[in-house]
Structure 1
Amino acid sequence: MTSPKPLIYAELLPNIRQISVLAALPTPSDATTRVSLSADRAVLTLVHNGATASLQLPGAIAPAYTPTQPHSTLAQLSWRIPLVASPSQPRAAPSLPAPWSAGALANTSSFFCRGCRGVILPSGRVTTWRDLPSENWAEMMEFWHCHKPDVPVGEKGEEEGGDNTMKGYGANTRMMAQKGVGKVDLTYFLLDSEDCSGLESGIKKAACQLNASVARSPIQMPQSDSSTPFQDGECTLSNREWVTLPSGFSGFSMGEYLGLDEEHNSYLPTSRPQPSAISSEPLFHKQTNPLQTSPSSLALSCASCAAQIGASTPAGYQLYKWSLSLTALLTTSTSSPTTQLAPTSPPLPHFLLPQLQAQSSALGVSKFIIRPPPPPADAEGQSNTDAEVGVYVWLFAPSLTVSFSSLSSLSSNSPPSTPLHDSPPPALPASKLLFRPAPPRDEATAILDAPNSAVEEVRLPASVVRAFTTLLQESNARLPEGARAFAGGWDVGILEVWDGGEGGV
């Protein structure tokens, strides 16, 4: 029977010019336990009871260093290895890139549902891609406007009035989708509904449920297009279609039936004009990301597999990057116009960790409660399990370089590494997060609303919160036992981040 291999983890500590190495042995160390360095001093090898584990060191070490041999009867081993001497350089604040920025996309880019490969954004629908500004840009612009030097009264123009919505910025403004233009955030795309395909919105599903429940009631409202009569069980609903209503109909609107505000939802049938560029609806409601923050947002699902793709909001369609796969047409002269690259599907942390780091830098916080948005007040049968889903995260070190002796990848969405001539896996860019279950909803709300709270809220779909929590737990299990916990009841998670290479594009 083969002996279990030792588990080794290394972390680069540039501030103190060292590499921290931790190892866990399946049994206490004995005379068979030995540690050594490769000839090029780049690989550390640990042998115990006939089993060997190797680790690629995440930095160049001092040429005179020799590792100390472990003492006997120890199951947890550690080393501090000095780095090679080099001139000190000022370190810039870490900034994590996210895949699929506007500069990496083209009018040939198309997106598919990650679950079933159904087309969500056909090639050519979006001709221009633009990066969205920071989520706090409106507040910063309004702060600047309020504190800029006073202009004499006689020299003020109309734009100097007090209405921030007329200036085009302010805390009560938001970006709106434009046809043919893809607006890119760290975690989502903001697109016009007409540019997308293969999606079902919550209003369509609700209309189907309403029609199915009263399909043969005495009262029916005709469609605006009388040439296509409404069929029992039909699930197509455009901006001007009507649905079958119950016999006790007393004049409520579709928005009232769905618990939505018709005035603030551009996808409900209405004759009110909708803003074309900027909306005055408040964007921020204490939580730090705009996903699913509007009370009038509706879930967008794949029409083929029902996977949640994004949300339909008054600003447009927000499509979650982690729900999509990218396929870009080849543009080289030697390739056929119909040849396509394989879709790339970066894992969830490649999008979510840059979002957390950006919010940490902008707001001066490092702790987040990640949970789903609260269910609507009239949502009967809402899953109590979904309501209590959540994880409390401390972004302890956004940018690290780490190494593992295990050949399994950090993300369950990534393919497992394949050994090449028995060489250990390379060092990886990563973030260190401390995590624990989120407190109950009422207690979490009290923490967030405290006057001196240093905790922010991030709202994500329950399925995404569960997936992120699972990734944290899996990464914790890959660490040596002595590195899995932190003081104060926190568990330690190490998640790989995107390094800006082609793999994420």
Structure 2
Amino acid sequence: MPDPLYFCELLPNIKQVSVSIESKDGETPTSVGLHPSKRALTVKYGARTSHIMLPTPIDSPSITLIPAQTYRLSASQTYLGSDEYESLSGPVQDPWDASSVSPECSLRCIACTTTIIPGGRIQKWKNLPSEHWADMMDLWHCHKPHNKDGNSEGSRYSGVGRIVAESTVGLVDPMYFLLRKEDCENITFKQTGSNEAETTICQVCDIPLGIVDEKADGIRLMKWSLSLGLGSFKQNGDEMLDSYTLSQWLSAHLQFLVDNSGQRKFLIKPGASILSQQHLDGFGKRIEEGGGGLHVWVFNPNTLITRSEKPTPARAVKVYYQRVTSKEQADGLGDIEAVYLPQAIYDRFERLLEEGNASLPKALQTWAGLWNGGWLEKF
């Protein structure tokens, strides 16, 4: 009999570990016990023994574990107060901010390693402010600027707040780099749809690298499409590269949305921009597309999980999601923020959720008959 499928999750608010086990043939374990390390359960099916790795050690159960498919176990209080746990669960700075990217670094296509920005071309890297900083200026100011006629300019910070790409300067957002077209090489452009900004394409392997930002007179190279050349070289002469998975970048974006909006539910839709408020057409207008999308509930933005495919503890975002197939269905969600991803990334995001759902025991794949369970691994 093959090893059982399992998924374990730390529930930090109640300091418990949730364990769900499913044997491939539906058989119930004959015995379940705590491993001496307290980091695993020993599960027996007759003469066969398997180990269920846990995201944290647990306190010894006060009662014998009755063979079952689900458990709630008390996480070790000592471990939850340890430096090891803090290093796994504490806040992590998103990679590749301006302080960690030097002029010697290069940017390369993640698929074929073709150079997009050679080392030494960008002389200075600077962090961008939040996308919504101009709106916040309007909200925070008690006395708004007035024009020469004495009339309030209201929310007219757009002129002051307009950010423009500069030659040999890299502007850094948590999700992208804003650069001048002429500083890049080995790229081409393609218009992919009426609701898409012009797409930046790798000239060698034809994968999308980003979008043209007409308002900023530049292009946005999405970090999930890139590898960062570190400016140091291996013995064979190849530059050492740093890269992360799409799941990690998207989970960071969801975390950003939760932190900055105070919401946990979002409507993720295909479109050129990762911005929630406007289309990058130079006019701040979006051509309204069909109502299709994903209604995503960020149920637990920061947890630790272990699973059959990866028994070592990993940081993750736990999500529930529903497919939205019509504008009427989308309107029925009420006042919910719409978040747009480029079509190719939206498709991959949907696949990531589906793959995460398929990796769960059946008991966790749906909830309340309405939501599909899923998760995204974090940095």
1:404 to 284, 307, 315: 307
**SS of aligned partner of 2:338:** strand
Unaligned 5+ residue runs, structure 2?
273-278, 280-288
Q: Which amino acid aligns with 2:344?
A: S
CA contact (8 A) 1:6 1:51 kept: no
Task: Determine the C-alpha separation between the residues in 1 that align with 2:306 and 2:112.
Answer: 34
CA contact (8 A) 1:13 1:19 kept: yes
CA 1:350–1:54: 2 relative to 1, 3 Å: same
**SS of aligned partner of 2:99:** helix
1:481 to 355, 362, 369: 362
TM-score (norm 2): 0.82
CA 1:200–1:58: 2 relative to 1, 3 Å: same
CA contact (8 A) 2:106 2:229 kept: yes
Deviations 1:334-390 (CA, angstroms, capped at 9, x unpaired): x8896621x23311121122212212222222222222238x9xxxxxxxxx96763
Partner of 1:117: 113
CA contact (8 A) 2:179 2:220 kept: yes
Question: RMSD over aligned Cα, in angstroms?
Answer: 3.5
CA 1:468–1:51: 2 relative to 1, 3 Å: farther
Deviations 1:297-319 (CA, angstroms, capped at 9, x unpaired): 42111112221111112211101
Task: Determine the C-alpha separation between the residues in 2 that align with 1:27 and 1:49.
Answer: 14
2:293 to 378, 382, 390: 390
More strand per residue: 1 or 2? 2
CA 1:353–1:96: 2 relative to 1, 3 Å: farther
Deviations 1:118-151 (CA, angstroms, capped at 9, x unpaired): 2111111112222222222111112222x15x99
Q: Which amino acid aligns with 2:348?
A: A
Cα offset, 1:483, TM superposition: 1.1
2:316 equivalent to 1:430: yes
1:17 to 15, 18, 23: 15
2:242 equivalent to 1:356: no
Q: Which amino acid aligns with 2:251?
A: L
2:231 to 311, 329, 335: 329
CA contact (8 A) 1:391 1:465 kept: no
CA 1:361–1:85: 2 relative to 1, 3 Å: closer
CA 1:193–1:328: 2 relative to 1, 3 Å: same
CA contact (8 A) 1:389 1:466 kept: no
Flag as ranges the 4+ runs of structure 1 deviating above 6 A: none
Cα offset, 1:474, TM superposition: 0.7
CA contact (8 A) 2:230 2:242 kept: no
CA 1:144–1:481: 2 relative to 1, 3 Å: same
CA 1:120–1:81: 2 relative to 1, 3 Å: same
2:220 to 302, 318, 329: 318
**SS of aligned partner of 2:232:** coil
1:466 to 319, 339, 347: 347
CA 1:67–1:118: 2 relative to 1, 3 Å: farther
CA 1:365–1:94: 2 relative to 1, 3 Å: farther
Please show how residues 33-182 of structure 1 align to structure 2 within 5 Å. Answer: 33-63=30-60, 65=62, 67-70=64-67, 77-85=69-77, 97-145=93-141, 147-148=142-143, 162-163=152-153, 169-170=157-158, 173-182=161-170
2:331 equivalent to 1:446: yes
**SS of aligned partner of 1:16:** coil
1:346 to 241, 244, 254: 244
2:266 to 365, 368, 383: 368
Task: Determine the C-alpha separation between the residues in 2 that align with 1:307 and 1:56.
Answer: 38
**SS of aligned partner of 1:427:** strand
CA 1:480–1:122: 2 relative to 1, 3 Å: same
How many residues matched? 355
TM-score (norm 1): 0.63
Cα offset, 1:38, TM superposition: 2.1
CA 1:428–1:392: 2 relative to 1, 3 Å: same
CA contact (8 A) 2:198 2:211 kept: yes
Task: Determine the C-alpha separation between the residues in 2 that align with 1:165 and 1:368.
Answer: 26
CA contact (8 A) 1:431 1:496 kept: yes
2:178 to 178, 181, 190: 190
CA 1:88–1:323: 2 relative to 1, 3 Å: closer
Task: Determine the C-alpha separation between the residues in 1 that align with 2:70 and 2:101.
Answer: 45
Task: Determine the C-alpha separation between the residues in 1 that align with 2:211 and 2:329.
Answer: 24
Unaligned 5+ residue runs, structure 1?
72-76, 206-257, 260-291, 377-385, 408-424, 499-505
Deviations 1:231-260 (CA, angstroms, capped at 9, x unpaired): xxxxxxxxxxxxxxxxxxxxxxxxxxx99x
Task: Determine the C-alpha separation between the residues in 2 that align with 1:178 and 1:165.
Answer: 26
CA 1:5–1:143: 2 relative to 1, 3 Å: same
